[in-house]
Amino acid sequence: MKVFPAWFVNAFFVNLFDVEALRLAPNAGYAGAVKAGQILIITFAAYFLFQDQQLTWTGMLGVSLVFLGLLLLGFGTG
C-alpha cells in the first residue's frame, strides 16, 4: 500500500490542472483538444518501448492531423 499515496497525489494534481485548464481556456474545447494531443507522446513512446508496435502511414497521418489541429488552435487564439 505504499504506492497508494503517490497515485493519490498524482490523480489530485492531474484533476486540478484539468479543471484549471478548462477555467482558463477561451473555449472548453481547447483544453480537450490539448489533452487529445497526448496521442503524440503515447504513439511514439509505444513504438520505442514495445518491439511489436508498428507505425503505419495511416497511423502517422492521423497523428499528424491531430498535431496540425493543435497548431491551428494555438495560432488561432493568439
Alpha-carbon distances of 30 from 14, 48, 59, 64, rounded to whole Å: 17, 29, 23, 18
Q: Give the span between the Cα atoms of 19 and 10, in whole angstroms.
A: 14
- Res. 69: pLDDT tops 80: yes
Give the model's pLDDT for residue 78.
57
**pLDDT tens-digit map of 13-61:** 999 999 999 899 888 888 888 888 888 888 888 888 998 888 889 988 9
- Res. 1: pLDDT tops 80: no
Which of the two residues, 9 and 2, has the higher pLDDT score? 9
- Average pLDDT on 6-14 reads 87
Q: Which long-range contacts (CB under 8 A, 24 or more apart) does 69-73 make?
A: 69/33, 70/33, 70/34, 70/37, 73/30, 73/33, 73/34
Domain boundaries, the chain: 1-29, 37-78
Q: Give the span between the Cα atoms of 6 and 8, in whole angstroms.
A: 5
